[in-house]
Structure 1
C-alpha cells in the first residue's frame, strides 16, 4: 500500500478555487475546490443524486470526469446523448468545412496541427455553441493563448471570469490582471457577492493580501455562507496575522449557518495551517485534538476519521490508528481506502497476511483500478507465497502509478520466482524514484 495523500494540494493555499462556465453557486464552487484538491469522492457529492439532464454542459463534463473516477455507472447512464454529428447542417458551407477541418486536426488535441488550426479560425464565424466547443478543444490542447482567446468570445459571467483568473494564474501578467479587475468592476451583470469574490481572487493572484481581505469581507456582508470565509483566513495568514487567521477558522467551525462540508473544511484547513507554520508545541497531539473536536460534532464523518487514522500512522501510533480504522469500518464497511490500509498494516506490520487477505481483497473488488490497492493486494498474495498470482496486480499498479514501494514488491516477487535479473531491474527503477525507500534497501541486501 502506498500512502494516499491527505491533501493532494490544498486549493485554499495553492490558488483560487474555480467553477466552470456557470454562475458561481456555492455548492458547485465547493465541489470544484474538492476536485482541485484531488478528493474526487467528496467532490462528486455535488453531482450524486442530481440528474445530468438538468445541468449545464460544463457541469456535465466535470460530473462525467468524477463519475468515472468514483465508478458511478448509474450516473453515467443518466447522461443525455452527445449532439448528433449532423448538427452542423445549419452552418454555411465555408464555416462547416472550416469546423470539420478543426475536428479532423484535433482528433489528437495535443498535436501542433490542432493548435495551428485553432489559431487560424475566426471566432466571429461561428455561433456560441461552436465557440464553446472550440474553447473546450483549446483547454484540452494545452494552448493557454487560444484558450483565453476563445473564452473571451463567450458570454462573460461569474464562471467565465473565474476561468480567466485561472488562466492568469498559469502565466501571471499584472497589466492583464488590472484590466480584468476593471472589467469585473464595471460588469453590471454580476451581483455584489460575485463581484467581491472575483476581485478578491484577483487580488490574491496579485499578492495584494490587504486588498483581498477587503474584498472578501465585502463578500461576507452578503447573506451567502460561502468558502470566501476560508479564503479570508488564508489572506489573514498571508499577512502573518496568525491569531486572526485561526480565529476566522474557529468562527466558521462553530457557525451552523455554514454547510457541514464547509465547517469540516475549516477543521482540515486549521490542521494544514499548523503544518505550514510548523507550530512546535505538541504539534502531533494538537492535530489529533483538532480531528477529535471535529469528530465530536460529526462522528459519522468517514473522511475525517480516515485522515485521523493516517495521521496516527504517521506519528508511529499504529494501534491507535488501527482502532480508528476498525471504528470506521463498522460505520462504513465498504470504505475501500480504510479496508486497504487496515489489511496492509495487518500483513506488513503485524505479520498476519492470512487475516489481511479478506479486507485487502474486498478493497480490490471495490476499487480495482486504484494503484495503491493493487499494490497491497499483490503484496499480501506474495506474503502468502502466491507469487505468480501476485504479479498481475503488482504489474498493473506499476503501470498505473510507478512507485518505489511497488518496485520493491515486484523485486521481491521476482526474486522469489528465481528471476534475479528482473528483480534487479525493478530495484534500479525504484531507486531512481526514491533512493531512501527502506523496502528497496532491504531488497538490495537480499539480491545476490
Structure 2
C-alpha cells in the first residue's frame, strides 16, 4: 500500500515539494528515526530535476521518497525524522536545497551538532553560497571546531568579491556573534594576512574596533592601513571617523582637508569633510565642497540637499531654490524639497506658489508643518472659510489622520476665531473620536489658557487613566494646579511622577522648581530652575528663575537672567509680564 501511494504521489506532487524553500514546522519533542527507503529491486523513476547548480539530476525512487517523507514528517511535527529524511535526500541527490532545509530543521530543534553536519554538506553541495558559509562558521565555533573556520572565512571573502561586497565585513559578521572581542580580532587578523594586498581587511579591523569603542585600537588599525595603503581613500575616511569618535573634531577636520586635497574626486571624503565644515559653522567653505560633490555625483541627492540648506542659511534664496528644484527633477527627497520651496515662496510673499508647494508635501518630517502653513496662508489671505473647508475635506480623505486635522483647525480658530468656537470644535472632535489622547490633551492645555482648570483636570485625568506613563499630561496637570490653584501638594505629586518618567526634561524640571517655589521651598526651587535653564534657556523658564531669585533677594542675578532673554527677544511676553508684576 505504501509503495502504491508513493508511486501515485510522485508525479503529482513532486515538483511543488522539491521547489519549497522552507518547511512549516512546529516545536515538539524531538524523535529519531533512520531514513527509510523503498524496497530493493524497485526501478528508478526516470525524471530529470535541476540540482542547485543547474545540472540535471536523475531522481531515483529513494530520493523522491526521502523528500516526500521529510515533508510529511515536518508537517506532523516529527522534526528529527524530517531532518534525517532531508539529509538523506541531499546526500542521494546532491541537492543543496535539501541540505539547507535539514540545517534549518536542526536549528529549529536547537541541535547544533546536527546543524553543523547538515550545514557542512550544504557547503559541499553549494560552495559559492554565502549564507551557507557564514552559517557553518557560526555553527563550527559553537561546537569549538575552530580549525576549519579560517578556510571558510577565506571563501566568504572570495564569494563576496564576486558579489561586489566587502567580504571581510561579511566574515566579521559571522564570527562576531560567537567569539569574544579579542578572539574576533585575532582571527580577523589571520584572515587579513591571507589577503595582504586587499586594503578592505584593515578597514574591517578598524571598523570592528570602532564598533567596540576601543578607540586606541581603532586608531592603531587605521594608521596601519593608511601607512600600508596610502593610495586608498577609504583608509583616510576611517581614520577621520576615529578622530571624530574620540571627540577631536579639529584634528578630524584638518586630516580630512588634507585627504580631500590628495583625493579631490573622492565623493565620500568630500562629503565627510563638508559635513564637518557645516558642524564647525564654516558654511561658505562647506557650500563650495558640496558644489564639488554635486558635480561629481550627477545623479546623487545628498549634495543638492545640503546645498539647499546651506544656501538658505547664507541668505541665498535663489541658489537654494535651484538646488531644491534639482531634487524635484531627480525625484529624490521630493517632500523635503517641496517644503523648502514653499518656505522660499512664502519668504518672497508668494502665498499661492507657497501653498502649491506645501500641498506636494505628502509625507515625511515636514508633512504636519506644511499642512499648518497651508491653512495659515489661506487664512492670512482672508480665505478662512476656504481653509476650514480644506481641512474638512482632508479629514474625509484621510480618516485615519482626522485627529491631526482637527488640531490644525483648532490652531486656525485660535488665531481667527473665538474661544467659544475653539471649545465647540474640541467638543465636536472628541465626540467623533472619544478617548483620543491627543485631542484630550490639547483641549486640556487650551482650557488652562482660559482659566478652566475644571476642564483641564477632567481631560488630563482621562489621558492619564488611558496612559499612566503620559509624562506630559502629568506635568501639565501638576504645573497648572501649582500655578492656578492652592493645591500645591497634589501638584507636587503629579510633577514627581512626571519627572520620574522623564528625568532629563527641562520643562518638567521647570515645573518642579515652580511648585517648590509655591510651597515656599525656595532654595530647592532655585536648584531645579537653574538645571532647567541650563538645559533650555527658554523665556518662560527664565521668568520663573528670575522671579524666585528676586524674591530671595538675588535681584542682580534675576536681572541678568531676564536681560539675557530680552537681548535676544525684546518682546518676550513671559519676562516682561513678571517684571511688570514685580514692578521692576
Among residues 165, 170, 184, which one is paired with 2:313 in the alignment?
170
Equivalent residue for 2:430? Answer: 295
CA shift at 1:122, angstroms? 4.1
Displacement, 1:366?
A: 1.7
Question: Is the contact between residue 135 and residue 147 of structure 1 (CA under 8 Å) also seen in structure 2?
Answer: yes
Superposed displacement of residue 145, structure 1: 2.5
1:270 is aligned to 409
2:284 aligned partner: 145
SS in 1 for 2:398: coil
Report how far residue 160 of structure 1 moved. Answer: 5.4
How far the C-alpha of 1:344 sits from its partner, in A, is 2.9
Matched with 1:357 is: 492
Q: CA deviation at 1:165?
A: 3.2
**What count of residue pairs does the alignment treat as equivalent?**
342
The answer on 1:93 being equivalent to 2:230 is yes
Cα drift, residue 388 of structure 1: 4.7
Gaps of 5+ in 2: 1-210, 566-573
Q: After the TM superposition, which residues 207-356 of structure 1 pair with which residues of structure 2 at under 5 Å, given as runs?
A: 207=348, 208-213=350-355, 233=375, 236-237=378-379, 240-256=382-398, 259-260=400-401, 263-275=402-414, 278-279=415-416, 281=417, 283-356=418-491
Question: CA 1:398–1:230 in 2, change beyond 3 Å: closer, same or farther?
Answer: closer
**Per the alignment, do residues 247 and 429 of structure 1 end up closer, same or farther by CA in structure 2, a change over 3 Å counting?**
same
CA distance in 1, matches of 2:448, 2:427: 16
Flag the 1:363–1:198 CA change in 2: closer, same or farther, 3 A. closer
Does structure 2 conserve the Cα–Cα contact (< 8 Å) formed by 1:340 and 1:359? yes
Q: Specify the alignment match of 2:511 in structure 1.
A: 376
Say if 1:340 and 1:90 are closer, same or farther in 2 by CA, change over 3 A. Answer: same
Following the alignment from structure 1 to structure 2, what is the Cα–Cα distance between the partners of residues 101 and 200? 33
Q: Is the 8 A contact 1:118 1:146 kept in 2?
A: no
Relative distance call for 1:390 and 1:229 in structure 2 (3 A) is closer
Indicate conservation of the 8 Å contact 1:360/1:377, yes or no.
yes
Contact 1:184 1:199 in 2 (8 A): no
How far 1:234 moved relative to its partner?
A: 5.7
Alpha-carbon distance between aligned partners in 2 of 1:127 and 1:167, rounded to the nearest angstrom: 21
2:271, 2:558 → 1: CA distance?
48
Contact 1:197 1:216 in 2 (8 A): no
The alpha carbon displacement at 1:331 in A equals 1.7
Q: CA deviation at 1:427?
A: 3.4
* 1:149-196 CA distance string (max 9 Å, x none): 444416555665444433333234354246436634653xx27xx658
Deviations 1:17-43 (A, max 9, x none): xxxxxxxxxxxxxxxxxxxxxxxxxxx
Match of 1:424 in 2: 555
Q: Which has the higher contact order (CA 8 A, sep 6+)?
A: 1
Q: How far apart are residue 405 of structure 1 and its match?
A: 1.1
Shift of 1:272: 3.0
Separation in structure 2 between the aligned mates of residue 427 and residue 172 of structure 1, nearest angstrom: 36
> Could you list the per-position Cα deviations for residues 201-223 of structure 1 after superposition, in whole angstroms to 9, with x for gaps in the alignment?
42541444444555666787x9x
CA RMSD of aligned residues (A): 4.4
CA contact (8 A) 1:375 1:394 kept: yes
Equivalent position of 1:436 in the other structure:
576
TM-score w.r.t. length of structure 2: 0.48
**Counterpart contact for 2:512–2:528, Cα < 8 Å:** yes
Structure 1 residue 337, shift from structure 2 partner: 2.2
Moved more, 202-211 or 96-105: 96-105
Task: Give the distance between the partners of 2:392 and 2:490, measured in 1 at CA.
Answer: 42
Question: Offset of 1:243 from its aligned partner?
Answer: 3.3
- Out of 118, 134, 158, the position equivalent to 2:273 is 134
1:398 CA displacement: 3.6
Separation in 2, partners of 1:326, 1:364: 17
State the 1:392 CA deviation.
3.0
Match of 1:27 in 2: none
Q: 1:205 to 1:118 in 2, by over 3 A?
A: farther
Report the equivalent of 2:172.
none
Give me the whole-angstrom Cα distance separating, in 1, the residues matched to 2:525 and 2:340: 49
Greater Rg over alpha carbons, structure? 2
TM-aligned CA distance change 1:384 to 1:242, over 3 Å = closer
Q: Residue deviations 1:73-121, cap 9 Å, x none?
A: xxxxxxx767955457655537667986898699565x79959975994
C-alpha distance in 2 between matches for 1:253 and 1:334: 29
The equivalent residue for 1:51 is none
Larger mean CA deviation between 395-404 and 210-219 belongs to 210-219
Unpaired runs of at least 5, structure 1: 1-79
Distance 1:158 1:250, change over 3 A: farther
- Does the 8 A contact of 1:353 with 1:383 survive in 2? yes
What is the CA distance between 1:299 and its match in structure 2? 3.5
Q: Quick check: 2:514–2:544 contact (8 Å CA) kept in 1?
A: no
**2:504 counterpart SS class:** coil
